[in-house]
Amino acid sequence: MPLQHVPAPAPLPTGSRMPLGRNPLFVGRQADLQQVVALLSTGDTAAITPQVVAATGLGGLGKTQLACEFVYRYGQFFPGGVFWLSCAEPQGLPEEVAACGDGLALGESFLHLPLAQQVRLVQRAWQATMPRLLVFDNCEDEAVLAQWRPPHGGCRVLVTSRRGQWDAVLGVQALALAVLPRTESLTLLRQHRPDLPATNADLVPQTSYCESHLLGAPGSSPAPAATLARGAPRITTQRRSVETLEAIAANLGDLPLALHLAGSFLARYRDVMTPAAYLAALQQPDLLQHPSLQGLHLTPGLSPTQHDQHVARTFALSYTRLQPQDATDAGALALLARAAWFAPGEPIPRQLLVETLPPQADAANAALRTEDALQRLHGLGLLDRTPDGAVRLHRLLVLFVRASSDRAEAQTTVEEMLLATANRLNEAGDPRPMLAIAGHLRAVTDTAQCREDALAARLCNTLGYYLHAIAQYAAARPYYERALAIREAGLGPQHLATAQSLNNLGTLLQAQGELAAARS
């Protein structure tokens, strides 16, 4: 297999079993494809233990799409064929394996043999030195992989799974997929709506049109300035269109499944739904309930991966595997509910998340149980871990978890912990340590400030204090003003907390040079 470039799609070797067609809308993932190649290429071609690579991550990231694209680009380099097996229903794997025997030249009587004997013959063929590619799609169980992968031979195994961690004895090399880069997200949206510009570079042809038709041909007299000005609105409108598409991708967290659903929705309703109107709909709190993200506009049975094209149900496949009666799963649910109230999509310092849990008497074992819970979430693809040990939830998964868990208890716990941490750091007088939590404090405060309670006022006051300390006066002012409004309404003008807010706002106005306002 070539390592320096991604080859063009090509027909699969004779005898291959590939139930999925290539998706013509597939975009990007060049680096991921090359990484899979690099990992599968390690070792001898007749390896004693076949190389196993797992593309892992949250549902909707396009793991199956990546494997499918890999098959059609690199399958040509496996002369023994490509064999795709769906592991979503492990009890059906014997039939899946036996079906691979059609292309293995196992004798004319093969189809008349009992199922168990067919399976044994296929497995024996896979143990030969002939290079073959096996794809185990949706393989979530380590025991399933251990049972069905060849113990030796020339096969290479590509797994797609939500499971982010694998037992070392399996020798799995995990490749954690990320969301799409923004440029690729815009390209995916344009696959459905090629009439929309995806980047400012796409505006150049329009500018060239204006130049060639309004400025005139080379050597001719230039057009009047008023004529040129009439071409500017077209470019401005298109630039706004680019910004709208970028905002749509941002609201969807660059998740491939959500982008595909959004793009196909914009294509179907192009005459009645502008991108700007669609963006406004996505900015509502019940984003996951929008018909586009439920796939209601799609033709049934046309999923390129044969998966459910519904964002919330895709998340639910992992979430519903957490059983509250199990101690580890109960801890995982508690951590997940709390993680959902930090800043969506941003890394959460591990210790910060752990501090939201109630204190336990047996500290040593409590730390082990917490780690088990975090690994459980990672194993289900619900939680990412960054290289520095932080954890992260996708912004759309945040909405799903908030709607599926005990909102009030988890939200209050996170708010109180962040408030206590921020106050401690503020009082130390050095604003630099606050950088690690400032984004989360702002997100939590922005969510809380619509309320009228004392906790919301304290959050506004604390965030305002930090922004004041780092000289972001204009940003601090609305938080100080909101804290004052809540306290005056709830506690009255003579309360000590109201006086604190008046004092803070007055010193901020003084720093801004608004001395008359500060004096009052």
Domain boundaries, the chain: 30-176, 182-294, 321-402, 406-520
Tell me which H or E stretch contains 174: strand 172-176
pLDDT in tens, the chain (520 residues): 888 899 999 999 999 999 999 988 898 899 999 999 999 987 655 456 789 999 999 999 999 999 999 999 999 999 999 999 999 899 999 999 999 988 888 888 888 899 999 999 999 999 998 999 999 999 999 999 999 999 998 899 999 999 988 989 999 999 999 999 999 999 999 999 888 876 655 554 444 333 333 334 444 455 555 554 555 555 566 677 788 999 999 999 999 999 999 999 999 999 888 899 999 999 888 889 999 998 887 777 666 666 677 898 889 989 999 999 999 999 999 999 999 999 999 999 999 999 998 887 777 788 899 999 999 999 899 998 888 889 999 999 999 999 887 767 899 999 999 999 999 999 988 888 898 899 999 999 999 999 999 999 999 999 999 999 999 999 999 999 999 999 999 999 999 999 999 999 999 999 999 999 999 9
Contacts 24+ apart (CB under 8 A), 318-325: 318/58, 318/59, 318/162, 318/380, 318/381, 318/382, 319/380, 319/382, 319/400, 319/401, 319/404, 321/380, 322/376, 322/380
Question: Residue 206: its pLDDT value, please?
Answer: 44
The torsion angle over the Cα atoms of residues 355, 358, 361 and 364, rounded to 10 degrees, is -40
| DSSP code of residue 179 | P
Closest by CA position to 179, among listed 66, 309, 17, 307: 66
Question: Residue 210: its pLDDT value, please?
Answer: 38
Question: Residue 108: its pLDDT value, please?
Answer: 81
Strand partners, 155: 132
Q: What is the CATH number of domain 30-176?
A: 3.40.50.300
Which CATH fold would you assign to the domain 321-402? Arc Repressor Mutant, subunit A (1.10.10)
232: which residues sit within 8 A by CB, 6+ positions away?
none
Q: What share of the chain is helix, strand, coil (3-state, %, to 5)?
A: 55, 5, 35
How many C-beta neighbours within 10 Å does residue 290 have? 17
Integer-rounded Cα radius of gyration of the chain: 28
Which CATH fold would you assign to the domain 406-520? 1.25.40
**Measured CA distances, 444 to 186, 338, 353, 415 (Å):** 29, 12, 14, 7
Q: How far apart are the first and last CA of the chain?
A: 75
Q: Which amino acid is at 275?
A: P
